[in-house]
């Protein structure tokens, strides 16, 4: 009888590609789902959960991403400094004014494991507010969101 062996990717054998996602007029959640999927490597047949098999992702036009429904003014982002009265509350419209890249980064970060592996995967995400990005030398492939 033949034994079936489980495949496990090795970090040295992982081939990384660069993808570019245009977030202009796209829903934030859909952009974040696809970016997290590419970062983790779940689109590859050699996906291994404990190895970083993901690719690099460049998100452009992050300042023009849309939120569905009334989330632009009703959704709340909170953070706490640890001091008395140090709770900060912001809506996506205020975050967009202050730092539009943060909307995409927070959404993708919520979809990645909160471990050393997740931090390594999140480091491969590059988000830019406009069209320009410094990664032309890597020849990123266009990734269309359906």
* Residues above pLDDT 90, as percent of the chain: 94
CATH of 16-95+108-142, one of 3.90.1180.10, 1.10.540.10, 3.40.50.300, 3.30.1130.10: 3.90.1180.10
Residue 29 CB coordination number (10 Å): 15
Instruction: Find the farthest-apart pair of alpha carbons in the chain and give their distance in angstroms, rounded.
Output: 68
Output the pLDDT for position 7. Answer: 86
pLDDT in tens, 27-62: 999 999 999 999 999 999 999 999 999 999 999 999
Residue 2 pLDDT grade (very low, low, confident, very high; cuts 50, 70, 90):
confident
pTM (two decimals)? 0.91
Output the pLDDT for position 20. Answer: 98
Q: Where are the domains of the chain?
A: 16-95+108-142
pLDDT in tens, 73-105: 999 999 999 999 999 999 999 999 999 999 999
Phi-psi region of 139 (alpha: psi -120 to 50; beta: other; left: phi over 0): left
pLDDT, mean over the chain: 95
């Amino acid at each position: 009888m033949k034994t079936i062996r489980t495949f496990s990717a090795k970090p040295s054998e992982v081939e990384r590609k660069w993808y570019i996602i245009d977030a202009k007029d796209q829903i934030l959640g859909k952009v974040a789902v696809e970016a997290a999927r590419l970062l983790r490597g779940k689109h590859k047949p050699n996906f291994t959960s404990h190895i970083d098999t993901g690719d690099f992702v460049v998100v452009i036009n992050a300042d023009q991403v849309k939120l569905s429904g009334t989330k632009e003014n009703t959704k709340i982002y909170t953070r706490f400094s640890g001091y008395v009265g140090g709770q900060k509350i912001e809506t996506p419209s205020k975050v967009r004014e202050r730092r539009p890249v943060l909307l995409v980064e927070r959404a993708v970060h919520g979809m990645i494991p909160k471990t050393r592996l997740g931090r390594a995967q999140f480091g491969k995400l590059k988000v830019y507010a406009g069209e320009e990005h410094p990664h032309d030398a890597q020849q990123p492939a266009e990734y269309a969101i359906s």
